[in-house]
A and B are shown apart, each in its own frame.
Chain A
Amino acid sequence: MSVATAALGYRHLLLRRSALLLLLAVLLATSLVADVATGPSSLGFSDVVRVLLNPDAAARPLRVIVWDVRLPYAVMAVLVGAALALAGAEMQTVLNNPLASPFTLGVSSAASLGAALAIVLGVGLPWLPQDWLLTANAFVFAFGSMLLLQALGRLRGAGVEAVVLFGIALVFAFNAAVALLQFVATEQALQQLVFWSMGSLARATWPRIAVLALALLAVTPFCARAAWKLTALRLGEERALSFGIDSRKLRNGAFLRVSLLAGVSVAFVGTIGFVGLVGPHAARLMVGEDHRFFLPAAALSGALLLSLASIASKLVVPGLLVPIGIVTALVGVPVFLALVLTRGRAG
């Protein structure tokens, strides 16, 4: 192959990857509209688009259904999916482990513990309004667990494998603590706790959406700046170091972003496990690991997956909104298997 042919091939590769990102974005937009259209009173696709684009012209009941009831859920699904998958992608890269994700390394368990403390014992940050208490507690624990993990990773002699093992140990520790609280909880508190940990978009409100959107916006420039370094880190730690990359600083930055994204997401919607693991894998199969494409593709895949799960959660049992945490895995597993089986076209 001549250099010219190869250069052309490389340019095609970049084009194809950009096109895939665009395709994912289009699919996501479609899924978002479909999500809003789906529900007890079924709306037409075009009606939804019309109300979304021009709310003032729509009839009041329609406007309320679309803007106040369904759109918050649908947008929350997209944002949470994007945040968790982006967090998972960064974790998998900096820990060099395809099984790393906020869920598998303890973020969700930590959030559950925080929630359990608030629900069962009423323990929490004192100066917060009541309806934010649970959320704030879950966030503090989720964020804290990631920082703890990072701190453990800094112990002398601990490598990235050790961090993964620490994370798994944390899952068990937090789960045990939650089980203990469940054991002593009143029946009512127990029910609330179980429902909380199932993961549900029913807690979506516009202020919460704004907080999560801000978190995503805040990390985006840092992700973009780290993209080349993260790509180089895939060539191995020694090589990355020899390129002059401070891998420790890179890792710490990534962990901070992951803590924020995962902490906020889990605090708002509870345990939604699969998407942080599968989003990055789907992205890797589609666009490879050039992080300029990999990170946005992971975010888009995660968002799409959770948006589809949100639609499915309304359809599984007609008339009932099944907690999305349950549906994610049900939708995610077949999607994941299909992707794995059609791999090799990633190029």
Chain B
Amino acid sequence: MLAISEFSVGYGRKLVIPPFALAPLPRGSVTALVGPNGAGKSTLLRGLAGLLKARGSARLDGVELVGLPLEFRAHHIAYMPQSLPHGVALTVIETLVGALRASPTDQPVPDAAAQGLQLLQRIGIADLALRRLDQLSGGQKQMVGLAQALVRRPRVLLLDEPTSALDLRFQLAVMELVRELTTECGLITVVVLHDLAQAARHADRLVVLAGGLLQADGTPEEVLTPDLLARVYGLSARVERCSRGQIQVLPDAALS
């Protein structure tokens, strides 16, 4: 269980997320973090992952994460940033082996390459294993970035827009995989998404952030209302269910 209270993060003196509390996130749950550009979603994830200095409290199964040295925190948490760097002369499998071997406190991994390859196969990109990272397409890179986070077998999975560059099939595949792994390994997963229908479909819970403040928190049905969309996104939109019962968000016009 991840319990967040009085949690605040920022850059230097600039506070992006003022003290913030969230009902506990249970194991085996997928939480979608949504909100407009610049809302502070990435900042919140960076704070939880320990990349930015945070204050307050974030307790994972009773262990306080705030103030825990990075190397111990990295033991529990995997974080997938929004971007991958350019011009890296490494093959996909090498990046996974590197991710496994570089972590300072992790147990020695007997066969990092085998572990990496199995994961690649599970994601469905085993054929990319020996390709150079800088010769992949944007979406392929994103899948590799996801693999780099997953391969470390964390307890908390923080994903920043993992599907933004993927085609429809892989968007579905990746989110289903995240769901599967979350259930299977009892992970606590937080995913930043922009596609609200996708968030509603794959997440148990939606947390809406705007201007660094919590706007709504609950099941997709509770949270996604035309009123909220107007308030948070400045959008006049309908929330409807398709013939299969899945929530669809249909934007009509930007409110001035």
Hey, which bits of chain A sit against chain B, CB under 8 A? 1-3, 6-7, 9-11, 13, 96, 98, 156-157, 228-229, 231-232, 234-236, 238-246, 284-285, 288-290, 346-347
Contacts and interface: CB of A to CB of B under 8 A. Distances in A.
A238 B117 contact: no
A156 B14 CA distance: 14
Contacts of A246: 70-71
B201 interface: no
B130 A13 contact: yes
A288 B113 CA distance: 17
Contact of A156 (B12, B83, B84, B104): B12
A7 B112 CA distance: 11
A346 B77 CA distance: 34
A244 B85 contact: no
Contacts of A234: 85, 88, 90, 98
Contact of A243 (B103, B113, B117, B120): B103
Given A10-B129, A288-B89, A289-B88, A3 B102 contact: no
B89 A157 contact: no
B74 A232 contact: no
B47 interface: no
Contacts of A245: 70-71, 74, 102-104
A3 B117 CA distance: 6
Given A3-B121, A9-B130, 18 more contacts: A3-B118, A228-B98, A229-B102, A231-B94, A231-B98, A231-B102, A232-B98, A235-B95, A238-B46, A238-B81, A239-B99, A242-B51, A243-B99, A244-B75, A245-B71, A285-B89, A288-B90, A289-B89
Nearest to A343: B89
A245 B127 CA distance: 29
B94 to A, nearest CB: 5
Contact of A7 (B12, B50, B117): B117
B200 to A, nearest CB: 28
Interface string B87-112: 11111011100110111111000000
A63 B126 CA distance: 59
Contacts of A13: 91, 94, 130
Given A234-B88, A236-B85, A9 B70 contact: no
Given A235-B148, A236-B83, A239-B148, A284 B89 contact: yes
Contacts of B145: 239
A245 to B, nearest CB: 6
A284 B46 CA distance: 31
B41 interface: no
Interface string B55-86: 00000000000000011111101110101110
Contacts of A236: 81, 83-85
B120 A6 contact: yes
B129 A244 contact: no
Contact of A242 (B74, B101, B106): B74
Interface in B117-136: 117-118, 120-121, 126-127, 129-130, 132
B85 A96 contact: yes
B130 A241 contact: no
Nearest to A247: B70
B49 interface: yes
A346 B98 contact: no
A98 B75 CA distance: 32
Contacts of B74: 242-245
B152 interface: yes
Contacts of A228: 98, 101-102
Contacts of A284: 89
A243 B102 contact: yes
B230 interface: no
B78 A242 contact: yes
A205 B222 CA distance: 80
Contact of A244 (B90, B103, B113): B103
B185 interface: no
Nearest to A232: B102
6 contacts: A2-B126, A3-B120, A6-B120, A6-B129, A157-B12, A288-B94
Nearest to B144: A235
B78 to A, nearest CB: 7
A246 B70 CA distance: 7
A234 B120 CA distance: 20
Contacts of B87: 98
B177 interface: no
A184 to B, nearest CB: 45
A207 to B, nearest CB: 39
B250 interface: no
A251 to B, nearest CB: 14
Nearest to A286: B89
Contacts of A239: 79, 81, 99, 145, 148
A241 B149 CA distance: 12
Contacts of A235: 84-85, 88, 90, 95, 98-99, 148
A7 B114 contact: yes
